[in-house]
Structure 1
Amino acid sequence: MEGLSRDSITSIIDLPDDCVILIFQWLDCNCDRESFGLTCRRWLNIQNLSRRSLQFQCSFTNFTQLIRSSLSQTSPTINSFHLHRLFTRFQYLQSLSLSGCTELLDLDLRQLQCCGSNLRTLFLDCCLGITDRGLFLVGTFCPLLTVISLYRCNITDTGLESLANACSALKDVNLSYCANISDHGLKAVTQGCRQLQVVRISSSSEVSGIGFKGCSSTLAYIEADCCKLEPEGIMGIVSGGGLEYLNISGVSCSIKGGDLAPIGTGFATSLKILNLRMCRAVGNESIMAISKGCPLLQEWNLALCHGVTITGWEAIAFNCHNLEKLHVNRCRNLCDDGLLALRDGCSRLSVLYIHGCRRITTTAIELFKCYRSNVSIKGEEIMCIGPNLASKQ
């Protein structure tokens, strides 16, 4: 350009860091974001400082991947040296997944002091070398955590206490398959973290549910399937009053026919999704209490609940005015009369899963379809899956 000296010309290289950071943040193509740092060392540093999430190739974030993958074949050795280099480079991480790093040790987590102050989400699923000492380091260096997953970790109540004392802002905690925790550690979490929204304790054999007693009203999502729950534990689970999703499928035989009735005694009025699959001791007393005490119930899984008879089906039909999905797969005591009751009730029902009910005749099913053509009859057994409440955080 004529009349302009070379010194007066400004290029993108002359932009201050905050402007370049804004440019990087506006990039919506992953390829562009990954190649951004190839421009120069300065832009590489800006790319590093802008990174908010880090997940290793060996990380597993859901159960299906864990089942289908062999940890022994896919888990690289991640140690303190690797973590130090990564955390020095990415100092403003908010989400970190170390899941599947089976060789990771407690002392390796000391490197969290480089980036832990900003972390909000931490996944340590199947980190078999992480114990209470490692959990203490997590609490020390990551005080702002809101989500932590400790699936299959070798932690105890002692570690949970130290975590709850240090990370009171926790909202989502996964303790599934943690064989060494009990209600004592669970109580430390539910009492110390009063913003708690989601708790998963599936297959935690030492948990009876009592540890939930007095939990915060913010607790809306609980997965406690395949636990050895007790009647008092059921009361504890619903004691917060804010529960919207509850999965206690496969509950142990210590729960008798009427022991689930506390779910319907006024503490779970916000409950929308309830999974009682394979609770074979569930009887009509519990069904009647729940159908009356949970007016907002939208999805109910009663597959393989053989203790429900015509009285229970009639209670569901008469009381569950908001029920949209009902699972009755392989219920031995669901007969034509029970199906007739469901047909004449449950005005909002849209999906009925009814696979393997041998006492129901083809005629009854065809009549149901004629009278309730708006209801989709599903023949295959499908598990009740609730909303991901953690995504609302």
Structure 2
Amino acid sequence: MESDSRNSATSIMHLPDDCLYFIFQRLDCGSDRNSFGLTCHRWLCVQNSSRQSLQFQCSFSVLNISSLSLTSASVNSFQLQKLLTRFRQLQSLSLSGCIKLPDSGLSGLQYYGPELQAFYLDCCFGITDNGLSLVAAGCPSLSRISLYRCNISDVGLEILAKSCLALKDIDLSYCSLITDKGIRALSQNCHHLRAVRMSYCRSISGVGFRGCSQSLSYLEAESCKLEPEGIMGIVSGGGLEYLNASSLSWCINGDGLAFIGCGSATRLRVINLRLCRSVNDEAVMAIAKGCPWLQEWNLAVCHEVRISGWESIGSDCHNLERLHVNRCRNLCDRGLQALRDGCKRLSILYISQRCRISTTAIELFKCFRAGVEIKEEEMMCTGMQQTRILD
């Protein structure tokens, strides 16, 4: 009887896969999760099918692009195919930095991409429209994709937009072949789109956003070729909360940015106009009156803003908390007084010593507005609160 009892005893190896999945998910220690699959082939399968994200060793942050090693970016199509076969439930995949990966390397996505929701292809220079069409066909659930510095055009972007209707977040920065045509396909097909990064896409004027969904709340458009009509298109959805339209002096003049305050951007909370040297009082006054919920405004190196502009900010920006006025040549004592007497919620003022403001005016500001932190900086401040909107 004792022998029969020992033979009928169960062990953890007799547990069904559902129980093993539950045990694996409850492991808090990273080393325990990594060693789980070393037990046996069955446990390895459980570990593999439970993995939801994968990042290659050569993946990198776009903020550290200068440190990218060409020798480390050698992931080939065969290696990628094997990994996709092994990890079949991936929701997030980063191939950033795989600079030699060709379009054909993405062919495995047609079998193992249906669950993929986030895909990062930063600096994958070998990926073109053909590769993007493979992504579109194999990843219908995609909600976030980064194509930073990829060699794609409007053709591939249109294919992606028509297939990945759940797309919410896309990075097209430095994709020089993208024009308003591609942006139009994106805004007309992806009705849940909330964030677009397209900085340094100098063939984009902004008109492609005309009639965009109200879900669009975040836009990075530094050094794009925005035009007044394009500005109207960008704010046409009415949901924009964050806008980086810095470095536009080379393509838009004077009051061209006044359309931001035309009445469609009433939800705007953060706006970056740094290095828009030609933005004038008319544009500043329109934005100050038309965007009542502004919390942060970067006007660094905006030399054409004068007394009327500063007075408008002081009187109309009742919710402004952070203001960047670094190196504004025409910010004088009277302009600073207007900011001091208004902007009742101001908590941080970024300023530089290279302006027409006297020491007395600064000291008076500190005396009357003791609760405002003045950060006197020689360098232009770029610390905009970029993540608050999406969080």
Q: Normalising by structure 1, what TM-score? A: 0.96
Aligned to 2:152: 155
Instruction: Say if 2:154 and 2:179, in contact at 8 Å, map to a contact too.
Output: yes
Instruction: Say if 1:227 and 1:252, in contact at 8 Å, map to a contact too.
Output: no
Aligned to 1:89: 86
Instruction: Say if 2:218 and 2:390, in contact at 8 Å, map to a contact too.
Output: no
* 1:54 aligned partner, one-letter code: L
Select the residue among 278, 282, 289 that pairs with 2:286.
289
Aligned to 1:188: 185
| CA–CA separation in structure 2 for the residues paired with 1:265 and 1:71 | 47
| CA–CA separation in structure 2 for the residues paired with 1:49 and 1:173 | 27
Aligned to 2:384: 385
In structure 2, stretches of 5+ residues that fail to align are none
Cα distance, 1:300 vs structure 2: 0.2
| CA–CA separation in structure 2 for the residues paired with 1:204 and 1:225 | 8
CA deviation profile, 1:75-122 (whole Å, cap 9, x unmatched): 1x2222101110110000000000110110011110112320100000
Aligned to 1:56: 56
* 1:204 aligned partner, one-letter code: C
| CA–CA separation in structure 2 for the residues paired with 1:376 and 1:296 | 21
Cα distance, 1:391 vs structure 2: 5.5
| CA–CA separation in structure 2 for the residues paired with 1:40 and 1:300 | 58
Instruction: Say if 1:228 and 1:252, in contact at 8 Å, map to a contact too.
Output: no
| CA–CA separation in structure 2 for the residues paired with 1:17 and 1:104 | 36
1:253-264 matched pairs, under 5 angstroms: 253-264=250-261
Q: CA distance change for structure 1 residues 210 and 356 in 2, over 3 Å: closer, same or farther?
A: farther
Instruction: Say if 1:197 and 1:390, in contact at 8 Å, map to a contact too.
Output: no
In structure 1, stretches of 5+ residues that fail to align are none
* Corresponding position: 1:120 with 2:117: yes
Select the residue among 209, 213, 217 that pairs with 1:212.
209
**Secondary structure class of the residue paired with 2:286:** helix
| CA–CA separation in structure 2 for the residues paired with 1:162 and 1:303 | 39
Cα distance, 1:384 vs structure 2: 4.0
| CA–CA separation in structure 1 for the residues paired with 2:157 and 2:87 | 28
Aligned to 1:74: 72
Instruction: Say if 1:51 and 1:92, in contact at 8 Å, map to a contact too.
Output: yes
* Corresponding position: 1:38 with 2:35: no
Aligned to 2:20: 20
Cα distance, 1:325 vs structure 2: 0.2
Q: How many residues align?
A: 389
Cα distance, 1:6 vs structure 2: 1.1
**Secondary structure class of the residue paired with 1:352:** strand
Instruction: Say if 1:150 and 1:176, in contact at 8 Å, map to a contact too.
Output: yes
Select the residue among 233, 236, 247 that pairs with 1:236.
233
Cα distance, 1:4 vs structure 2: 8.3
Identity %: 60
| CA–CA separation in structure 2 for the residues paired with 1:343 and 1:291 | 16
**Secondary structure class of the residue paired with 1:258:** helix
**Secondary structure class of the residue paired with 1:117:** coil
* 1:23 aligned partner, one-letter code: I
Q: CA distance change for structure 1 residues 252 and 210 in 2, over 3 Å: closer, same or farther?
A: farther
| CA–CA separation in structure 2 for the residues paired with 1:389 and 1:159 | 31
| CA–CA separation in structure 1 for the residues paired with 2:4 and 2:367 | 83
Cα distance, 1:254 vs structure 2: 2.8
Cα distance, 1:74 vs structure 2: 3.1
Aligned to 2:136: 139
Cα distance, 1:41 vs structure 2: 1.1
Q: CA distance change for structure 1 residues 389 and 316 in 2, over 3 Å: closer, same or farther?
A: closer
Q: Normalising by structure 2, what TM-score? A: 0.96
* Corresponding position: 1:164 with 2:155: no
* 1:25 aligned partner, one-letter code: Q
| CA–CA separation in structure 2 for the residues paired with 1:94 and 1:388 | 22
* 1:326 aligned partner, one-letter code: L
Aligned to 2:64: 65
Aligned to 1:273: 270
Q: CA distance change for structure 1 residues 314 and 4 in 2, over 3 Å: closer, same or farther?
A: farther
How large is the RMSD of aligned CA atoms in angstroms?
1.6
Select the residue among 298, 301, 310 that pairs with 2:298.
301
| CA–CA separation in structure 2 for the residues paired with 1:114 and 1:263 | 45
* 1:382 aligned partner, one-letter code: C
Q: CA distance change for structure 1 residues 85 and 73 in 2, over 3 Å: closer, same or farther?
A: closer
Select the residue among 244, 248, 265 that pairs with 1:247.
244
Instruction: Say if 2:60 and 2:68, in contact at 8 Å, map to a contact too.
Output: no
